[in-house]
Amino acid sequence: MKINWKYITMVLAVGLLAACEVIGPGDRNKVIFTPTDPSAVKRTSLLIEYSGWQCVNCPTAAEEAHRLKELYGEELVVVVMHPESNPNTRHNNKPALNYTCPEADSIYIMMGGTNTTPFPTGNVNMVKDATSGYFNDYDKWGTLISQAYAAPKPMLLKAEATAIDTNIVFVVVDITNLDTQAVDATLQVWLTEDSVIGSQKKPEGTDKNYAHNHLMRASISPLWGETLPIEAHMTQQVVYEYTLPEKVKKENCNIVALVSVNSEVVQATEAKIN
């Protein structure tokens, strides 16, 4: 898959004025890409883990997410969300205990989360089950991920993130439609952070040196994404310039890109900031 680095260099030289600016569709790079075998493309799934520092059983769910990540490697992207609408994330305005972000809360509410939704819980690929809805117990995650891999989607996704200043990141996402028909794909790009050391309640007490990983910090794209009509065997390139929040450590951050078709995440990827 080709990235037009000449185009990117031009954008870097000119600079973008907004803190998070999306390059308009007319300026995006399109590249013809003809795959040899679209059916051989591997699918990467998204696991959303809903958690809270006051949830004593959430570390067990985090261990399951870690086990699945070790099993699937790059073919699984984990994002941990602390939605403020759930009492397990309550911090009483103490910054050291606040792992929430508004975007995580909005996604949680969209999925039907309330102040009585039991934690830990999670979702795979933003799929809504006819009986259980969006939320699934952590002992179901492995089965749902395995089922997703049995239904691959003809889509390639690549993301790269480069720091161009102390706290400014340049993000390039390539989406390639391997199908023989055009598709309307929705792109979402999020910021996550690893190794956020803080408090976490456990059955045996509070661990004040707990490492919160895959923690959602913000949405780089519009929260609900942007729809990109992609023709057959074409690549759509999207470019963002984004200013990192002050509270994050750049070296611990990841860029997560997701592509959905008909509201289901069909491809995901994660990239460190170079």
- The dihedral formed by the CA atoms of 147, 149, 154 and 156, expressed in degrees to the nearest 10: 140
At 203, the amino acid letter reads: P
What's the pLDDT score for residue 36?
A: 45
Q: Considering only 39-43, 196-200, 219-223, 264-268, which range has the smallest mean pLDDT?
A: 39-43
CATH topology of domain 5-272: Immunoglobulin-like (2.60.40)
The H or E element spanning position 71 is helix 58-72
The H or E element spanning position 270 is strand 264-272
What's the pLDDT score for residue 4?
A: 34
Read off the pLDDT band of 132 (50, 70, 90). Answer: confident
What share of the chain in percent tops pLDDT 90?
77
pTM of structure = 0.87
What share of the chain in percent tops pLDDT 70?
85
What's the pLDDT score for residue 37?
A: 60
**152: preceding bond cis by omega (within 30 degrees):** no
Question: Length of the chain, please?
Answer: 274
Summarised one tens digit per residue, pLDDT across range 100-128 is 999 999 999 999 999 999 999 999 999 99
Q: Rounded distance, CA 85 to CA 101, Å? A: 11
Domain boundaries, the chain: 5-272
What's the pLDDT score for residue 150?
A: 86
Read off the pLDDT band of 70 (50, 70, 90). Answer: very high
